[in-house]
Chain A
Amino acid sequence: MFANVPVLSLIIWLPLLGSLVVLLLPGRSGGAIRWAGISFTFVSMVLAFGLYASYLPLAGGGEFAEHGSWLSVPLNTEVMQDTSVTSYRLAFDYSLGVDGISMPLVLLTGIVASMASLASVHIFKRQKTYFSLFLLLQTGMYGVFLARDVIWFFIFFELTLIPMFFLIGIWGYYGREKAANRFLVYNGLGSAVMLLAFLILIATLGFASVQTDGGIELTFSGSYDTMLANLADPNAAAHQAGAWLLSDNLQWAAFILLLVAFGIKLPIFPFHTWMLKVHAEAPPPVVMIHSGILLKMGVYGLIRFAAFLLPAQLHSWSAVLAVLGVINILYGAVLACAQKEFKLVLAYSSISHMGIVLLGIASLNETGFEGAVYQAVSHGLISALLFLIVGSLHERTGTTRIDELGGLARAVPFTAGILLTAGLASLGLPGLSGFIGEFLSFLGLFSTMKALTAIGTIGVLLAAVYMLRSVLAMTYGPLPEKLAGLKEARFIETLPMVVLTAFIVLLGIYPSLLTDLMQHGFDGLLRELQTGVGG
């Protein structure tokens, strides 16, 4: 379907083009700006689905890979003893790729971003700037999931940071600037730590020495594929004593740095405070993106780099990850039970649900890994839907405090029904997507760590408590007087609700849509975990 079409590049760069188009439109034509913003978002989503349609799990997406040389810095060889070295370079290439792990997340990005663009019709303030930043953010997000060079990954990761800072800081609620600052500093710290880990990996795993007719060519490369190949190759420079040795200490340093970097994004327990502020203060479409996609960048990074490139460390720390996961699950769930603001219930519930992802990764088996990604996708859809509803309720009632709302089932039956469905999906009701992700993750972990799995499942019970407590309080009971004239959601609002619900149901009853995709995605990692590490 995409013979000779650089479809990955198109998915990434079309939103950027859209961002420029929006900037060139006159500021007064709000309608045109909105439609340009929405259509460019949809084009990338359609391309993402096209990619899905022609993706063959067994081939691993190799036919879509794109590679172009971008930056090759000559390094000085003047004081080098070995005179047969003809070329000594630092190379960062433009390389993109898709596989069983990134494919589901690219789809998620397409769906959630498109629905968030529809939800953005509530934004009237500075629409032009809003939509150009919104599109720029998409370039960053698609780029993160598709980049196959660590430096490009880093650039895209940072590229999501700047638009998000503005989107929170300009269009947020009362405490927006504080939330934006905290977002910036925490995530800035995360990416700095990540960069240090990447540089360590480039200087060791990324090093390759190639003997040619002319002499020896030495290259430091940021290419993920090169790193994977060097990891598997016992003769690679990274495994030999010398300047490029990836020593045990360095491996651990890189692993812990990556764990912290993606742990902030995920977020893992002590690093979560920034994300509560963002959930509470950012405008609803931006939270849909944030909770639906940006947190998943942490999951993706953890699997792609920490797990795939440092499997030995993952193996020895699987128990630590599982404990961190259980802490996340219980901490998030307990605090969610105590919140009075629905947005914060959802924020804590996100922490709890992301803990399940950690359990999946800690299981070290295919079921668990698939569960982790499944949970990431499912949580992305569910939280996007919940925040869509939050936005539409806030637009009408001016509040999302649980004690100020009630009787919505009578006033706005459709919205209330969707809210109930989303709540049930979130607590893991079988038949909806949340169940599959949780089930696979717990199942994976059960084969290795039974006690922790048992403790973790308490979180699922608590999820039922806090979800039903808040959702039922909002939908049933007496309708507060000041909400008497409440109007039902308009078509433009119901459309994304229906679409997101449809995907949640679809993934709930037909999970192989995603699990088939992921089938061969973890082969390499599992092989490393079984043979390379040994235990």
Chain B
Amino acid sequence: MIQTNTLTWSDTWYMAPELALVVATLVLAALDLALPRRTNRDWIGWGALAGLVAAGVFVGWHIHDLRSAAGAGEQTYHSLLGGSYRIDDFGNLLKLIFLGASALLVLASLGTVKREDVPIKGEFYYLFLPAVVGAMVMASSADLITLFLGMELLGITSYILVGVRKRTGVSGEAAFKYVVTGGTASAFILYGMSFLYGLTGSTNLGAIRGALGGAAADSRALIYAAFFLLIVGFALKLALAPFHAWAPDVYQGAPTPVTSFLAVVAKGAVFAMAYRLFLNTAYFQTDDSRLRGDVFLALAVLAAAAMIVGIAGALKQQSAKRLLALSGVANAGVLLVPLALDVTDLHASLFSEFLYYFIAYVFMNVGAFAVLTVILRDAGSDKLSAFAGLYHRAPWTAVAMTALLCSLAGLPITGGFFGKLFILFASVQTKAYWLAAILLATTVVSYYVYFSFIRQMYMRTGDTDGKVAVPVPAGIVIWLSAAATVALGLAPKPVLDWVGGVYSLAVDFVAR
């Protein structure tokens, strides 16, 4: 039974954030064509920033609307397009983070991205917008088709963004690698989805959940195949070990703001999709605890492998970008831990732990990559030794970077510390002691990794004594990120209360 569900006028209001970005993209693309060559393309960047902020305002509005609906005892989600698209708190929270992170990235690029490096600056700026639309669609979909569409929209735009330094060899190489691995991942995911559809007869997540129990009884092997393919696909997209080999190359070749986008928004969007999919399908199959247990176990093993391999690979890394790429692999493992923990009576709140650490992760990565942009602009190299003597050459930036690194290493008092603490407590509470032990062990090793920056900044002298010029927008992003990281550590309560108050497992995940 196929219903035709067109977008009605009333739906456009719910889609306003996405539509705002689409409109902004079209306007900026037209402007980029129309403006004379000599005009500074930074204006396009400011335009993209405005579009992101406008979309963010709409999302904030929706959150507010849903809150007042909850206050009045009404339904706290809106289902559009025949149940394939949902406006709910899970999606809205993540959208807000994606938009905020992208806005910070674009802001940090203004003034640091040079025309010699990126010849097509106009495209560079406005292509962020459709990528974010893709991420937002992934966070809001309740249907396999729309999920996949969102993923491809995000994927294809980011392939272009990675290759945007078109005169640089490594950039082309990175783009090619990203296309190939991204395509492979999509193929795995799509194949897995096709099994789910074939077994349950629906692409809607709610309907799949209803039919999965019966299907599992009949054809268990196929269900396992479906989940195996999905998990491999997600692992490739998230660069979880052992599917992470592309990440250092791609991260290194891409322009730094794009690297940061891949590390933060693209990764977050895939996590959003994984949450929707796994929570709606595998997790609530209470009558089939074996399937559930196996999916959890597979995810837990992946998380552990990512933490171990990521941080071990980062140990001997001399390139700052590759180091951060591998730290991203390890952090993806940490972020996967809440998803991989069994749901019990006592422990169902997987999402607050995930979201808190994700917010901290966003700030520390955006900040660290912004510092890297500044260093790259100054030294022209992303070697760790480019950080030598930074404390004398740009003291405030060095101090901000120290806060960000402490957060990455999970030291108090930072957001990264509490993020890891909550995830750790969750794993101890669900008695997954081995996972907690691996998380802790990799954290200790990561001290050594992140302190290699600190050694360079404080204990070595650089080749020059000259001050490092920090462009104002990048400086703002660096300090905003560092301040947010420390604020998350000093007062984690507001964010957690907010997430806890807004989000509901039953309403947001059990899609209808």
Contact = CB atoms under 8 A, between A and B. Distances in A.
Contacts of A202: 425, 428
Given A169-B459, A170-B459, A79 B493 contact: no
Contacts of A229: none
Contact of A192 (B412, B417, B441, B497): B441
A120 B376 CA distance: 38
B421 A151 contact: yes
Contacts of B497: 74
Interface stretch (B222-230, B259-267, B499-507): B499-507
A192 B440 contact: yes
Interface string A34-46: 0000000000000
Given A73-B493, A73-B496, A81 B424 contact: no
Nearest to B428: A199
A203 B428 contact: yes
A158 B411 contact: yes
A73 B422 contact: yes
Contacts of A181: 448, 451
Contacts of A188: 443-444, 447
A243 B425 CA distance: 14
Interface string B361-375: 000000000000000
A72 interface: yes
Nearest to B286: A79
Nearest to B399: A23
- Where chain B touches its partner, the secondary structure class is helix
B348 interface: yes
Interface string B328-344: 00000000000000011
Contacts of B459: 169-170, 177
A192 B444 contact: yes
Given A169-B455, A169-B459, A195-B424, A79 B348 contact: yes
Contact of A185 (B344, B425, B447, B455): B447
B455 A177 contact: yes
Interface string A169-197: 11000000100010011001100110110
Contacts of B68: none
Interface string A59-76: 000000000001111111
A159 interface: yes
A218 to B, nearest CB: 9
Given A76-B505, A78-B505, A192-B443, A158 B348 contact: no
A185 B493 contact: no
Contacts of B443: 188, 192
Nearest to A74: B500
A79 B343 CA distance: 9
Given A76-B505, A162-B406, A189 B425 contact: no
Contacts of A158: 411-412
A481 to B, nearest CB: 36
B345 interface: yes
A348 interface: no
B78 interface: no
Interface residues of A, number: 41
B504 A78 contact: yes
B352 interface: yes
Contacts of B448: 181, 184-185
Given A90-B425, A203-B428, A75 B347 contact: yes
B15 interface: no
Contacts of A166: 458
Contacts of B406: 162
B424 A199 contact: yes
A220 B422 CA distance: 12
A13 interface: no
Contact of A196 (B440, B447, B492): B440
Contact of A203 (B345, B412, B429): B429
Interface string A69-106: 01111111111110000000010000000000000000
Q: Across chains A and B, which 10 residue pairs bring their CB atoms closest together, nearest first?
A: A76-B349, A74-B500, A192-B440, A199-B428, A79-B348, A155-B412, A76-B348, A188-B447, A188-B444, A78-B505
12 contacts: A70-B493, A71-B493, A74-B496, A76-B349, A76-B505, A79-B345, A80-B348, A90-B425, A162-B411, A185-B447, A195-B421, A202-B428
Interface of A: 70-81, 90, 151, 154-155, 158-159, 161-162, 165-166, 169-170, 177, 181, 184-185, 188-189, 192-193, 195-196, 199-200, 202-203, 220, 243, 253
Given A76-B352, A79-B348, 14 more contacts: A71-B493, A73-B352, A74-B496, A79-B343, A80-B345, A158-B411, A169-B455, A170-B459, A181-B448, A181-B451, A185-B444, A193-B440, A196-B437, A220-B425
